[in-house]
Amino acid sequence: MTPADLSRTVLHAVHCAVEADELPAAVPTRVTVRVPPRPGCGDYATNVALRVAQDTGRPAREVAEVLRKRLAAEPGVARVDIAGPGFLNITLEGTSYVRLVRDVLRAPPAAAPLPLPAPDPGLLARLGPDAARWSLLWPAGFDRAELLAQRDSNPLFRVRYAHARTQGLLRNARDLGFGAEPADAGLDGAAPLLAALADHSRITAARDPERLARHLDRTAGAFLTWQTGCAVLPRGDEKPSAVHRARLALAEATGNVLADGLHQLGITAPAHL
């Protein structure tokens, strides 16, 4: 279940509760789900109960309990908890992550780059084609010279480095004689990265280059944070396990998303950096 799927599921739960006269409120036109800022709070959280409570005059936690029961019965949802004044923390079944990674790995690449204005010839000469194109997508006031620096403060470097890192992991895994196999094992702490991957098809469908650039930066940051905190490859005399294969599949899926996004922006996705 992707974040977009989950948003529709939450909205459906509200609609059903209103239709059943459990909540005397107007159904919102849309709801949002977010990755919680702290681990241990489910895979996603939504404030929809607080919004609906404003129409009902009932306590938000009371509204949240009505929605919790309905959401907990939905396929793909493992558990729903109420937090704070009425936030709903939703934990998905592990198989949802497996399906997400498989779907990303099987997704066809984008057909063609997005239309972007041609960079100024002077900017092109100073920065090169990749950095010049990226400079058209970042907010005004950003130091364009920073795009040539190979450091973490450079968003273009972050995205390209993250892609190169995924390719390096795949090469090293091949040398060790094993490949990727999606599974729900060993993905602790990967929720922000999985959420970013799940958003890719929705964001690319919007055909908005600036939004895509921000999405790629978010995906790269989530990947680099995740892979720093876990062993994707076996260490020493350790044999490859299901955990390593599952983590490698997540790394490969991330590489596919980053390469696809960079291609749409007309920027090269390096295998080495």
Give pTM, 2 decimals: 0.75
Quick check: is 270 in a domain? no
- Residues 18 and 103 both lie in one domain: no
Ranges 52-56, 58-62, 138-142, 145-149: which has the least confidence: 138-142
Query: Is residue 273 one of the residues assigned to a domain?
Result: no
Answer yes or no: do 188 and 240 share one domain: yes
Residue 88 lies in a domain: yes
Q: Is residue 269 part of a domain?
A: no
Q: Are residues 130 and 254 in the same domain?
A: yes
Q: Are residues 7 and 126 in the same domain?
A: no
Q: Is 254 exposed, middle or buried (0-12, 13-18, 19+ CB in 10 A)?
A: buried
Quick: pLDDT tens for 202-260. Answer: 888 888 999 999 999 999 999 999 999 899 999 988 999 999 999 999 999 999 999 99
- Total Cβ atoms within 10 A of residue 12: 15
Q: Is the domain of 245 the same as that of 196?
A: yes
The answer to whether 113 touches 260, Cβ cutoff 8 Å, is no
Structure confidence by residue, pLDDT tens digits, 160-180: 999 999 999 999 999 999 999
d(C-alpha 273, C-alpha 270), whole Å: 6
Query: Helix crossing, 3-19 with 191-205: angle to 10°?
Result: 90
My answer on whether 164 and 198 are in the same domain is yes
Mean confidence (pLDDT) of the chain: 90
Last residue in a domain, options 92, 110, 139: 92
If DSSP codes are grouped into helix, strand and coil, which group holds residue 86? coil
Residue 271 belongs to a domain:
no
Of 92, 125, 157, the residue at which a domain comes to its end is: 92
| Residues 101 and 82 occupy one common structural domain | no
Tell me: pLDDT of 157 over 90.
yes
User: Which residues form the domain of 163?
Assistant: 96-264
Structural domain count, the chain: 2
- Cα 195 to chain centroid distance, Å, stands at 3
Q: Where is the domain boundary, 59, 92, 125? A: 92
Tell me the CATH number at 13. 3.30.1360.70
Statement to judge: residues 122 and 249 lie in one domain: yes
